[in-house]
Amino acid sequence: MDTTLQDPLVGQVLDGRYRVEARIAVGGMATVYRAVDTRLDRVLALKVMHQSLASDAAFVDRFIREAKSVARLAHANVVGVYDQGTDGAHVYLAMEYVAGCTLRDVLRERGALQPRAALDILEPVLAALGAAHRAGFVHRDMKPENVLIGDDGRVKVADFGLVRAVDTNTSASTGSVLGTVSYLAPEQIEHGTADTRADVYACGVVLYEMLTGSKPHGGSTPAQVLYQHLHEDVPPPSVAAPEVAPELDALVASAAARDVSLRPADAVALLGQVRTARAALTDAQLDAVPPQAHEDAPGDGSEDRTAVIPRPAGAAAASARDELHHTSRLDLPADPPGPRPRRRMPRRGVVTIVAAVLLALGIGAGVWYISAGQFTNVPSVLKMTRSDAEKKLHSAGLDVKVVQDYSDVVDKNKVISTKPGVGERIRSTGTVTIHVSQGPPRAEVPNVVGRPLTEAKQKIADAGLRVGTVTRSFSTETPRNAVLSTTPGPDAVRRPDTAVNIVVSKGEPIDIPDLIGDDPADARSELRDAGFKVEFAERRAFSDEDRGTVAAQSPGEGTKGAKGDTVTLTLSKGQQMIEVPDVEGDKVDDAKRKLEDAGFTVNVDKPLLFPGDTVKDQSVSGGDKAPKGSEITITVKGGVF
């Protein structure tokens, strides 16, 4: 329902400058409006803090300092901050207005994305975060809601500095953690710390979500999701989306590693890994069909809002689901209160209770073993050396099977992937297959010298290579249409799909005779006797040769040909006769120009003494015809006449 008309800010002008036109979105900490800067006459987004935060002077001071810092972060993929101010009880940010939608909107509508689209979104996000990281900023709340996609296709990151300001304001006690539960890094949960690698972790989770259409960790309460962040690796996307390439599995594993020391140092380093992985993917892998969307439970959108949510002990479970998607302050359980006097229970009652507890524990232990105790999760061994991976898996009680595979992105003798995948459940005595890299794939150029061309092409294709250019050269030893040489040469080792260029024999060279002026039948007979094929051009050409004889040949006389080559003959139409312009009485220069423009050559005959500059006579009278290209002589009058 559109409630714009009920919003008291719509239609007002803040600070005498910003005219609020419409409400765009409502979050837990602010409301965003579309507004017009009446001073500069431009549309912008106005983020107005909620009264509960704006009334806190400490928060406002902190928020202003952060806004000033972020305003200095100028990058094409960062939503720009233009201004900050207060108007009465309203604390606001004036920001760049991006007409479009959020990544969350895209994921809700389309579900999982093709790998190409996911990387097209992730790269500018990492470019923005990389600029922030190198400038000393940590976003702290990376999630699809903070990735804006403009109608023109531009991708921008929003809300830099906002969470940091709120975190300072809401984390006065040591028992709270701020952020969106689904994207929190383990160190944020466990120690309350957040550096550039916390943003890297969140980007790994976002990439997983784009590739699979769902989050890696789920649960009905925030506590369940937090537990998984701390104790379970983010699974490879290919578990949920089998078409996802191993390179993308490795990328997610690297970015979302639970051990902070195993992640890329910052978004710049992760961007480098993303581009390396993209370069290794084929078009088919980049355009792989994503899995069907996973439908979440319906909601009113409140689960995606940024909010500060206190969680006192005994909070109703019904609100837990919303907190999974909020930017929230989650209060950790407080220390238990001191002992209170209690009435002594009769001994008989104590024995009964203890027996019941022991029975319940025994039954519970049995159920636990049947359902979970005999299983374990596959530990992460990606990018480990083969020996280290085997040791780690053996120490977990698992058997190991090794399969050798080629890889463009994983170093030789290191683990590319596992089956079952990292984090998947497996029996404690089960076997994990590890795929170990042999380095980049290689193909050997076959020896096809002396082979017929068709056979050579097939052998090259069978070797995983492709045929490049095919050129021909004369040879007195190699039969016609047999391979003379290849580049690269036989036994050379190259990457698959490398082009192999082939030189094919044209056979022994034969001199092409001079046929100009010959009768067509005689010319055909002479060429056929020499081993050539003969073709006649469809159109005849004017020439000095007699009409009907050979006027031109291709290839020409004096060149070499091979047996079976085709020689094309053009027959003569005779000389082309054209009308001679009348130049008598013209100036010499004008006469020459007229005759040359008509297609003749000109000879000027001048008297030895006192030459003039007017034409007295011409060798072919004006109006008569002469062969094109023939010479016309013009005689010049003497100067004394």
Which of the residues are catalytic? Answer: 141
- Check if the beta carbon of residue 158 is closer than 8 Å to that of residue 24: no
Q: How far apart are CA 158 and CA 238, in angstroms?
A: 30
Q: How far apart are CA 204 and CA 130, in angstroms?
A: 14
Residue 640 region by backbone torsions, left for phi larger than 0, else alpha for psi between -120 and 50, else beta: alpha
Closest CA to 326 of 310, 308, 314, 300: 308
The DSSP bridge partners found for residue 499 are 466
Q: How far apart are CA 452 and CA 484, in angstroms?
A: 10
Q: How far apart are CA 495 and CA 473, in angstroms?
A: 28
Q: How far apart are CA 232 and CA 249, in angstroms?
A: 16
Q: What is the 8-class DSSP label of residue 379?
A: P
Sign of CA dihedral 228, 233, 234, 240: negative
For 524-592, give the DSSP string: HHHHHHTT-EEEE-SS-B--SSPTTSEEEEESPTT-EEETT-EEEEEEB--PPEEEPP--TTSBHHHHH
- Check if the beta carbon of residue 634 is closer than 8 Å to that of residue 602: yes
Residue type, 536: F
- Check if the beta carbon of residue 90 is closer than 8 Å to that of residue 14: yes
Closest CA to 274 of 248, 253, 242: 248
Q: How far apart are CA 139 and CA 128, in angstroms?
A: 10
For 59-109, give the DSSP string: HHHHHHHHHHHHHT---TTBPPEEEEEEETTEEEEEE----EEEHHHHHHH
Q: How far apart are CA 374 and CA 390, in angstroms?
A: 21
Closest CA to 290 of 227, 230, 213, 367: 213
Structure tokens at 352: 């009964």
- Check if the beta carbon of residue 285 is closer than 8 Å to that of residue 7: no
**Residues composing the chain:** 641
Closest CA to 142 of 109, 91, 188, 99: 188
- Give the contacts of 312 (CB within 8 A, at least 6 positions apart): 331
In the chain, % helix, strand, coil (3-state, to 5) comes to: 35, 25, 40
Alpha helix positions (H), 369-422: 386-395
- Give the contacts of 518 (CB within 8 A, at least 6 positions apart): 526, 549, 550
The DSSP bridge partners found for residue 467 are 500
- Check if the beta carbon of residue 499 is closer than 8 Å to that of residue 481: no
The DSSP bridge partners found for residue 83 are 94
Residue type, 258: R
Q: How far apart are CA 12 and CA 46, in angstroms?
A: 12
